[in-house]
Amino acid sequence: MSLLSRHTSLALPALVASLLALGACTAGHPPAPPLPALQKAPDLTTADAAFVQKLNDMNVTQIALAKAAQTHAARSDIATLGATIEKDLTGNQDKLAKLVAPHAITLATKPSPEDQKIIDRMQHLHGAAFDRSYIRYLSRNQAGMKPVIETEIATSKNTDLAKLATDTKAMLAAYTAQLR
């Protein structure tokens, strides 16, 4: 027997044993678990989209007026309320933006022309005149938004949007209570 065939015959069983050992290592792993289903954003109906736009308009306008209240109000409680409204509604606006991000809805960053006129008019007022006008605006705005918010809470299938509407309703009620 030649030297080469002797080495080949001794190497062959070692090679087969190594391959079997490697094969056993890979066969022992369980299959990877299935990936969880992707969470799809809840759909927004046409009514939901209309509510989103109205809420956005209210937030943008009230944030601008709240900033003015902090510097134009005669009463310290109104100036403090302005700071609270600005902080709360800015957070509300952030939540709204995250909620509509998966949908094809663009939120306005500036007030509507009608609301801008109100803001411009109120920014020219100071002291007690500003206070009266601001309180009147907040009362009218809440009265106008209340049925819109309640309808959204009652009819929306989107639980996140309904919760945002509920939270907004509570905030507006708290602001009105502070002004009394």
Whether residue 71 lies inside any domain: the answer is yes
- CATH number of the domain within which 74 lies: 1.20.1260.10
Q: Which domain holds residue 153?
A: 46-104+111-178
Q: How confident is the model over 123-175, as pLDDT tens digits?
A: 999 999 999 999 999 999 999 999 999 999 999 999 999 999 999 999 999 99
Instruction: State residue 168 phi and psi, 5-degree precision.
Output: -65, -40
Whether residue 74 lies inside any domain: the answer is yes
Q: Alpha-carbon dihedral of residues 121, 126, 128, 129, nearest 10 degrees? A: -20
The DSSP string of 12-81 is HHHHHHHHHHHHHHHHTSPPPPPPPPPPPPPP--HHHHHHHHHHHHHHHHHHHHHHHHHHHBSSHHHHHH
What's the mean pLDDT in 89-100? 94
Whether residue 10 lies inside any domain: the answer is no
Whether residue 146 lies inside any domain: the answer is yes
Whether the per-residue pLDDT at 40 is higher than 80: the answer is no
- Measured CA to CA, the distance from residue 82 to residue 39 in angstroms comes to 38
- Measured CA to CA, the distance from residue 12 to residue 27 in angstroms comes to 23
Whether residue 13 lies inside any domain: the answer is no
pLDDT (0 to 100) of residue 18: 72
User: Which amino acid type is present at position 90?
Assistant: T
Whether residue 130 lies inside any domain: the answer is yes
Structurally, the chain folds into a number of domains equal to 1
Whether residue 151 lies inside any domain: the answer is yes
Whether residue 157 lies inside any domain: the answer is yes
- Measured CA to CA, the distance from residue 134 to residue 125 in angstroms comes to 10
The residue assigned the tokens 């299938």 is: 157
* Residue 180 pLDDT level (bands cut at 50, 70, 90): confident
